[in-house]
């Protein structure tokens, strides 16, 4: 039911964007009936393409549809930016009390949308190191923790990009590596073993995001094993310096007949005096007084600027560090990779370095 609602909402919004762009091209160029029909069929196909690609990728057909995948995703980015720029153009014309010129609108909007796509590709490959400091009297020494989320390593995020991430992790000399879900992507045909090049002393731990389930939960478990990463869904661990708790993404319950363990039960298994980190893919509060820091992702901070408005509506705890309840903090990563097009606009990929500092 949840997936059906998502697909219906997506088609409604994305279909509306595509229809607007169809009308803009038609009005600007004055197409005859045949050209108009061809354009309409093309746009209808591209509107449905993200759904078609999702189905084909889940069935493991990445090798046969690689070019179709790239066309689908980059068209999605372009047409969305075209729509947004065009609306802004019309608004400016209205404010200036100038008559809207569809052809000029199309030319300006197309140029800016294409320019933003090129810029967005550069930004998507420009990883920012986000350093945050958290003070606590529940630790025995200062710790350096790396957190990354929403890599989507798969058909569009390459092994070469991951090697660049690992290089940066090595330079940081971290004590612990934590992963907040959606590290893997449907259509997986990649090298998991490159992650064995980084082995921090306190280990590597992860929880599942929704895309691990879309890929296939059992397959994801195998890949994480090859990465040398311990998947801690519905588990709590005392790793010596810290407590760790991991919860799987909620699609495990809504779409895959799984379960999410009661966090209070998991917390009671751990020493109360130790600093406790919760790994949870979606940035929703758990209302637990014994969690010190929750690490989440999922929002991508919108990834492409216009989408930030939508993601912030669904997830008010959106990106960055939040003090939500006493000493309970939530940090939400913008994500280190991309879903769909390799484009990010005003939402740089981030590698989060958490400096956990002993407070006297």
**What pLDDT digit, counting tens, does each position of 285-319 carry?**
988 788 999 999 999 999 998 888 888 988 999 99
Q: Per-residue pLDDT tens for 152-198? A: 998 889 999 999 999 999 999 999 999 999 999 988 889 999 999 99
Q: Are residues 216 and 343 in the same domain?
A: yes
Residue 116 shares a structural domain with residue 169? no
The answer on 352 and 212 residing in a single domain is yes
Say which residue, 4 or 140, is predicted with more confidence: 140
Answer whether 18's CB lies under 8 Å from 47's CB: yes
Size of the chain in residues: 360
Same domain, 215 and 297: yes
Select from 124, 159, 186 the last residue of a domain: 124
Query: Higher model confidence: residue 305 or residue 139?
Result: 139
The answer to whether the beta carbons of residues 197 and 166 sit under 8 Å apart is yes
Domain stop point among 124, 143, 163: 124
- Sorting pLDDT into bands at 50, 70 and 90, what band is 143? very high
User: How much is the pTM?
Assistant: 0.92
What average pLDDT does the segment 208-224 reach?
A: 95
Together in a domain, 76 and 28: yes
Do residues 210 and 354 both lie within one domain? Answer: yes
Could you tell me the CATH number of the domain that includes residue 319? 3.60.21.10
Full residue range of the structural domain in which residue 28 is found = 2-124
Do residues 40 and 178 both lie within one domain?
Answer: no
Q: How far apart are CA 161 and CA 164, in angstroms?
A: 5
Please state the rounded mean pLDDT for residues 20-33: 92
Q: Taking Cα atoms as reference points, which of 289, 332, 288, 286 lies closest to residue 308?
A: 332
Residue after which a domain boundary falls, among 103, 124, 145: 124
248 and 202 within one domain:
yes
82 with 176, same domain: the answer is no
What's the average model confidence in pLDDT over 238-264? 94
269 plus 341 within the same structural domain: yes
Pairing status of strand 243-247 against strand 235-238: antiparallel
Provide the domain count of the chain: 2
Q: Are residues 221 and 145 in the same domain?
A: yes
pLDDT for the residue numbered 176: 98
Residue 253's pLDDT is 93
In this prediction, residue 9 carries a pLDDT of 78
Residues 78 and 224 in one domain: no
């Amino acid at each position: 039911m949840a997936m059906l609602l998502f697909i219906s909402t997506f088609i409604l919004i994305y279909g509306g964007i595509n229809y607007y762009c169809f009308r803009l091209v038609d009005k600007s160029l004055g197409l005859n009936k045949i050209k108009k029909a061809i354009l309409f069929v093309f746009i209808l196909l591209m509107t449905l393409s993200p759904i078609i690609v999702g189905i084909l990728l889940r069935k493991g057909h990445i090798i046969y549809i690689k070019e179709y995948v790239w066309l689908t995703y980059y068209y999605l980015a372009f047409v969305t930016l075209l729509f947004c720029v065009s609306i802004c153009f019309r608004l400016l014309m209205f404010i200036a009390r100038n008559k809207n010129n569809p052809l000029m609108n199309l030319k300006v909007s197309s140029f800016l949308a294409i320019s933003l796509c090129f810029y967005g590709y550069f930004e998507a490959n420009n990883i920012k190191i986000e350093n945050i400091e958290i003070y606590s009297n529940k630790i025995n020494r200062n710790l350096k923790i790396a957190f990354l989320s929403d890599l989507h390593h798969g058909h569009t995020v390459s092994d070469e990009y991951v090697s660049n991430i690992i290089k940066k992790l090595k330079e940081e000399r971290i004590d612990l590596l934590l992963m907040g879900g959606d590290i893997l992507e449907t259509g997986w045909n990649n090298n998991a073993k490159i992650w064995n090049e980084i082995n921090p002393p306190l280990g590597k731990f992860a929880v599942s995001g929704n895309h691990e389930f879309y890929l296939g939960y059992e397959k994801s478990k195998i890949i994480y094993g090859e990465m040398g990463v311990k998947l801690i869904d519905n588990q709590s661990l005392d790793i010596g310096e810290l407590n760790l708790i991991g919860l799987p993404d909620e699609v495990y319950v809504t779409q895959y007949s799984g379960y999410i363990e009661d966090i209070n039960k998991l917390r009671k298994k751990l020493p109360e005096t130790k600093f406790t980190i919760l790994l949870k893919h979606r940035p929703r509060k758990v209302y637990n007084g014994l969690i010190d820091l929750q690490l989440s992702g999922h929002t991508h901070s919108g990834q492409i600027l216009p989408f930030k408005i939508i993601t912030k509506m669904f997830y008010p705890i959106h990106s960055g560090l939040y003090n939500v309840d006493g000493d309970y903090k939530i940090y939400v990563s913008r994500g280190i990779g991309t879903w769909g097009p390799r484009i990010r606009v005003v939402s740089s990929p981030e590698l989060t370095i958490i400096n956990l500092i002993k407070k006297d």
